[in-house]
Amino acid sequence: MGVQGGKPVKMEKYNDIDKAKHYNQGKYEAIDVIEDWELNFNLGNAIKYIDKCNHKGNKVKDLQKAIWYLQREITSKEDNQWQ
């Protein structure tokens, strides 16, 4: 049950704004893991794409996006090691 306009309303199990089905397939929602582990933007997005890769339709594309974010994180750490 939620509240909308001051009145109680029945909440949908999933919705496109804050409870997307492809991020809610197991025990843990991706955002909760990202926040609990205190991941930055790149690592959080990698987790997000890995999490949804089996549920949104294009597994290879989602895994490639996860790798892209991981590579960006690695590059940023390599660049900062010389400073």
pLDDT tens string 37-83: 999 999 999 999 999 898 888 999 999 999 999 999 999 998 887 65
Q: What is the pLDDT of residue 75?
A: 95
What's this model's pTM, rounded to 2 decimal places?
Answer: 0.69
Q: What is the pLDDT of residue 79?
A: 83
Instruction: Yes or no: say if 69 and 42 are a contact pair by the CB < 8 Å rule.
Output: yes
Residue with tokens 């949104």: 56
Q: Which of 21, 83, 31 is nearest to 56 (CA)?
A: 21
